[in-house]
Amino acid sequence: MTGFDYAIRTATIQDFTAVINRFTTAMMVSDNTTELDRELFEPDRTLVAEDAGSIVGVAQAFTRTLSVPGTVSPAAHVTGVAVAATHRRMGILSRIMRRQLAEVPEPVAVLWASQPGIYERFGYQASVYGHRFEAKLAEIRLTKAPVEGRLCELSVEQAASELPPILKRLQLDRPGVSGRSDQLWKQRLADPPERRDGRMPRQLIGYRSPEGDLEGYVFWRGTRQRGSDDGGNTVEVEELVAATGSAYRALWQHVLTMDLATRLVSWHAAVDEPVRQLVGNPRALGVRSYDALWLRIVDVAAALAQRRYACAVDVVLEVSDDILPANNRRFRLTGDRSTASCVETGDEPDLSLSVAELSGVYLGGRRLTEYAAVGRVHEHREGALAEVTTAMGWPVAPRSIEVF
C-alpha cells in the first residue's frame, strides 16, 4: 500500500489522546501530557492519517506569533509530526506535510526538526542557529560588575503577571522569538514532578531595577552529577531573558557563580550572545552550535512585505516553489528599515532562487551568498546578490528560546 491509500483528515478534540500517543511512540518518549496540554490542543490545525480507524500519521500546528526583522508576525508553529513505524516509507508524511502547507493561513511556518533532512524536502530551511553552553565554572573568570538593582525570587503567580511584557520586549529586539498567550505562559511555568527527570524544582529569579521595575528573568534548576570526577552539581539554565544591560549582567553573574556547582548548561543562546563579553575565558563556556528554528515561507509576497530590511532594496526575484504553485512568480521587492512592498511583476529578474533559500535567510541570520556559492542562487544583474544579501540581514542574530 502507499500513502494515497490512507485517508487524511482534520482531527477532532476526541483524537487528542491518539494524536499524542502516536507522536510520543514515534519519539520513544513517555506520555506525560496534562489537562493543560489538552486545552492547548488545536484540532482544527491538526491533520491525521487513518488506517482502518487507527491514526497512523499526525502533524499539529499552533497559532502563535514570531518576531521577524522589524516586526512581529503570525506564524504557524508546526509540531508533533510523526508516522507509525509500521507505516513508514509509504508517502504518508509527504501527503500530510503538503496538505498542511496548503492550508496554513499565515505567511510563514516554523518548526524544530528532529531529523533535518525530512523537512528540507518541503521547503523548510534552518533559519535560526543556536548555541548551547557547557561551561566549566571554575575556568570562566567572570568579569564582575556592580549590580545596580536586585535579584528576587518570583512566585508562579508573579511570573505569570510580570514576565509577558519582558518576552514581548525581546520579540521587538530580536527576530526568531515565539510569542506566548496566557495559556502558553501557564504551560511554560508549570513544573509537575513527573517532568523533572530527577532534577530539583525550577527556580524563577527576576531582576528589579533600583526603581522596582522587573527588567529580566531566568529559569534554572540544579542537577546532581552522580559519578562525575569532581562530584559537583550542574546549573541548568532553561530560559534567560533581559530587557536591559543591567538585568542581563546580573542574571548571568547569578547563574555563573552558583555555590556548590561546577558546571553550567544553557540552551537557546544566540550565536552573537553577549555573555562572552562578561567572561575572561570564553573558551570555558564550551560553546556547541546547533540548528534551532526551521522556517518555511508559505506566502512569498506577504512574508517579504511584512518584514523590514537592513538597507534600501529594490530588486526583482524569480522564485520557484515545487509545493505551492502560487509562489512560482516574479516579485518586485522594495523596502528599507521602515516600510516594504512585494508585488508580482513581469519585469526581468535580478536574482533567481527557490523558496527554500528565501526561507533560510528570512530572519536575517544567514546570507544569500552562502547559497549562491553552491549554485542555489543565480544573479542576473551585477550587484543584485550583494544588495539583497545586505538588505536581508539584520543587526542582531535571530534567537529561538524554546522547543515547541
Please give the domain boundaries of the chain with CATH numbers for all domains. Answer: 3-106 (3.40.630.30), 131-290 (3.40.630.30), 299-392 (3.30.1050.10)
Indicate which residue of 6, 133, 217, 404 is catalytic: 404
- Report whether 335 belongs to an annotated binding site: no
pLDDT of residue 3: 53
Q: Is 320 annotated as a binding residue?
A: no
92 is in an annotated binding site: yes
- Residue 82 counted as an annotated binding residue: yes
* Residue closest to 109 by CA, chosen among 120, 121, 124: 124
Report, as ranges of residue numbers, the positions in the chain whose pLDDT lies below 50: none
Q: Is 176 exposed, middle or buried (0-12, 13-18, 19+ CB in 10 A)?
A: buried
Candidates 74, 111, 98, 121; CA nearest to 302 is 74
Report residue 356 as a C-alpha cell. 527554500
Q: Is 354 annotated as a binding residue?
A: no
User: C-alpha distances in angstroms, 27 versus 22, 47, 102, 317, 385?
Assistant: 9, 18, 26, 39, 41
Q: Is 404 considered catalytic here?
A: yes
The answer to whether 363 touches 176, Cβ cutoff 8 Å, is yes
- Measured at the alpha carbon of residue 366, what is the angle toward residues 364 and 369, in degrees to the nearest 5? 120
CB atoms within 10 A of CB 86: 9
C-alpha to C-alpha distances, 127 to 124, 173, 363, 370, nearest whole angstrom: 9, 17, 6, 13
Tell me how far apart the alpha carbons of residues 345 and 301 are, in angstroms, rounded to a whole number: 11
Residue 40 CA to residue 155 CA, distance in Å, equals 23
Any residues with CB less than 8 A from the CB of 328 and at least 6 apart, and which? 319, 320, 321
CB-based contact 11:80 (threshold 8 Å): no
Question: Would the annotation count 83 as a binding residue?
Answer: yes
Q: Is 23 a catalytic residue?
A: no
Q: What is the pLDDT of residue 31?
A: 86
User: Which entry of 6, 119, 219, 309 is annotated as an active-site residue?
Assistant: 119
Query: What is the structure's pLDDT at 97?
Result: 98
- Per-residue confidence (pLDDT) for residue 220, from 0 to 100: 98
**pLDDT for res 32:** 85
pLDDT of residue 189: 98
Total residues belonging to the chain: 404
- 250/147 Cα distance (integer angstroms): 6
139: Cα within 13 Å, side-chain hemisphere:
11
81 is an annotated ligand-binding site residue:
yes
**Rounded to 5°, angle at Cα 43 from 360 and 179:** 45
pLDDT at position 30: 87
Contact 141, 279 (CB under 8 A): yes
